[in-house]
């Protein structure tokens, strides 16, 4: 039992490692571990916010609010902004790591598209919540701007996913492991997209309390699954760690003389 526990801990922790040498200091980042931990942290924060809203603001037995509805209320919106701002560097690292892993299989057009869509999405996610927070806190009519940003993110996300799936399909021919990873990932991605589409359909037809309950549950599932997409992607990465090194120029000059 104890050995199983420690194996589980070793999978998650630590997400980075600092190594010191005579002439350099290296920071080694393990993307899969970092993406899993950041997903767990984000999931905990969102769940905590939903529970807090049900305890202090809403009677969730009579009305179960969606995450997006809770995010519109002053106080809760700032928690979402803080959480996604903390998630932003991890998201940027994910897109960078994905680009580094898939670049060899990309055409020039796909390479440029994947790079810039990843960068735009990384900064658009927290910006969308900041716009939403500004609209709820200062009564600025920014709802249309918020909807345009969200719609743009979804479109860019679909473009990025399409290109990445082409890369994963090419990589699957190299090994049986990559082929199994692709099969499992397609199932996971299919469930995520299904939950998202069902949520959107329910949002357009939320005319009674029963549908609102179902919409809230499906949105929570869709968001929860989406949070772990970077980790699911990272399982297909051939590069399993990122090393950042800082070397001493003085030491290198002395050692070369």
Range of the domain at 186: 19-245
Q: Select the highest-mean-pLDDT range: 126-130, 187-191, 244-248.
A: 187-191
Across 96-122, b (16+ Cβ under 10 Å) vs e yields bbbbebbeeebeeebbebbbebbebbb
Q: Is the pLDDT of residue 220 over 70?
A: yes
| Domain membership flag for residue 137 | yes
Q: Taking the CA of residue 237 as centre, how many other CA atoms within 13 Å lie in the half-sphere pointing to its CB?
A: 23
Nearest alpha-carbon partner for 101 in 51, 171, 34: 171
pTM of the model: 0.76
| Domain membership flag for residue 251 | no
Locus of tokens 């690292």: 93
| Domain membership flag for residue 13 | no
Angle value at C-alpha 164, between 106 and 221, nearest 5 degrees: 170
The beta strand positions in the chain, using DSSP E, are: 16-20, 24-29, 242-247
| Domain membership flag for residue 250 | no
CB 23 within 8 A of CB 40: no
Locus of tokens 């939950």: 195
| pLDDT tens profile 162-199 | 888 888 887 776 667 777 888 888 888 888 888 888 88
The total number of structural domains in the chain stands at 1
pLDDT band at 210 (very low <50, low <70, confident <90, very high): low
């Amino acid at each position: 039992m104890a050995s199983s526990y420690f194996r589980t801990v070793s999978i998650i922790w630590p997400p980075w490692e600092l190594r010191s040498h005579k002439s350099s200091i290296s920071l080694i980042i393990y993307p899969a571990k970092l993406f899993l931990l950041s997903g767990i942290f984000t999931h905990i924060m969102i769940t905590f916010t939903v529970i807090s809203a049900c305890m202090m603001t809403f009677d969730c037995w009579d009305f179960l609010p969606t995450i997006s509805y809770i995010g519109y209320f002053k106080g809760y919106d700032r928690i979402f902004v803080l959480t996604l701002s903390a998630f932003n560097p991890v998201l940027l690292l994910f897109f960078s790591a994905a680009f580094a892993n898939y670049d060899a299989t990309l055409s020039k057009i796909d390479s440029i598209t994947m790079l810039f869509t990843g960068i735009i999405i990384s900064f658009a996610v927290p910006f969308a919540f900041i716009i939403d927070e500004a609209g709820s806190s200062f009564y600025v009519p920014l709802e249309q701007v918020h909807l345009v940003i969200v719609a743009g993110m979804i479109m860019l996300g679909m473009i990025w996913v399409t290109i990445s799936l082409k890369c994963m399909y090419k990589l699957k021919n190299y090994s049986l492991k990559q082929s199994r990873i692709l099969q499992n990932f397609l199932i996971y991605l299919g469930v995520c997209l299904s939950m998202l589409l069902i949520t959107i359909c329910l949002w357009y037809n939320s005319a009674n309390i029963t549908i609102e309950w179902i919409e809230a549950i499906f949105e929570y599932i869709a968001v929860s699954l989406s949070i772990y997409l970077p980790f699911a992607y990272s399982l297909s990465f051939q590069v399993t760690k990122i090393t950042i090194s800082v070397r001493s120029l003085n030491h290198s000059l002395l050692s070369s003389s």
